[in-house]
Amino acid sequence: MQKLLVCYKWVLDEQDIKIAGDLSLDTGRAKYKISDYDKNAIEEGVLLAEKHGAGVEALTFGTEAARQSLKDALSRGLDKVYWIGDEAGKQADAFVTANILAAAVNKIGSFDLILCGEGSSDSYSQQTAPRLAGLLGVPAITYVQQLTVVDGRIVAIRKLGDCTEEITVTGPAVISVLPEINKPRIPGLKQVMAAAKKPSEEIKVTDLGLAAEKLTPKVRSTSLKGYSMDRKKVIFKEANPADNVAKLVASLAQEGLC
């Protein structure tokens, strides 16, 4: 294994998003961040690269705001980041995203392994990795909770409900990882400063040779609202904790919840 690529997304930080009285989302003061799921993908790529002496680069697609992600991404151990900032990123669904990423990969060059998060922390469609693999004509392995490379072969443990599945493939392949696969590092001052000296390269969508239909979303978001939950706020105050539990269970059973 000589070269790895990690795909990540620059998204709004959900903790900064406020819900207004009409349930509309107020993102006016929301900052951006690398999607939490993609941080796991970056970490796994860097760990594999460190273990096998490979190079590890990243690719991100979004609006012009994606430029802001470069320093953070590079401080996490990546060698280089390719970024695509285009107006198409505003309404891009998994169809458009996969088309652009695949075209960019073909332009950049071949990789032994491409890693993605299982989903992004904004839309979480879980479609980008499988679509990307299909477009590149390579195997896709999803829901991966453990990943190793043995004698040039990729061994992945997938989490499927109440069981696991072991898959072995010869690269190149596209793999989407679960959050439990690792704990992403927190870059220190030294890593942040070193990131400023690492290379990044912009790729223009217009240079990818994609037809207009490949840049037209299949799914469009017309509105987005917060979820309103009305709680009954029933409090059980029996002296004996066991009595409180019994009343809680009886109340839930009465409402058909258990």
Rounded Cα gap, residues 209 and 83, in angstroms: 17
Give per-residue pLDDT as tens, 208-243: 999 999 999 998 888 888 877 777 788 888 888 898
Do 235 and 198 reside in the same domain of the chain? no
pLDDT of 72: 96
Do 245 and 147 reside in the same domain of the chain? no
Give per-residue pLDDT as tens, 154-198: 999 999 988 999 999 998 999 999 999 999 999 999 999 999 999
Q: Pick 234 or 143 by higher pLDDT.
A: 143
Domain range for 248 is 228-258
Tell me whether residue 221 is in a domain: no
Tell me whether residue 119 is in a domain: yes
pLDDT of 94: 94
The answer to whether residues 127 and 169 touch, using CB atoms and an 8 Å cutoff, is no
Asked if residue 105 has pLDDT above 90, the reply is yes
Do 208 and 232 reside in the same domain of the chain? no
Do 247 and 178 reside in the same domain of the chain? no
Rounded Cα gap, residues 249 and 90, in angstroms: 46
Tell me the mean pLDDT in the region 2-12. 94
Asked if residue 114 has pLDDT above 80, the reply is yes
Asked if residue 47 has pLDDT above 90, the reply is yes
Do 26 and 137 reside in the same domain of the chain? yes
Contacts 24+ apart (CB under 8 A), 143-147: 143/118, 143/176, 143/178, 144/175, 144/176, 144/177, 144/178, 144/181, 145/177, 145/178, 145/180, 145/181, 146/181, 147/44, 147/48, 147/175, 147/177, 147/181
CATH (domain of 14): 3.40.50.620
Do 256 and 201 reside in the same domain of the chain? no
What is the number of domains present in the chain?
2
Q: Radius of gyration (Cα) for the chain, nearest Å?
A: 22
Tell me whether residue 182 is in a domain: yes
Do 195 and 252 reside in the same domain of the chain? no
Tell me whether residue 14 is in a domain: yes
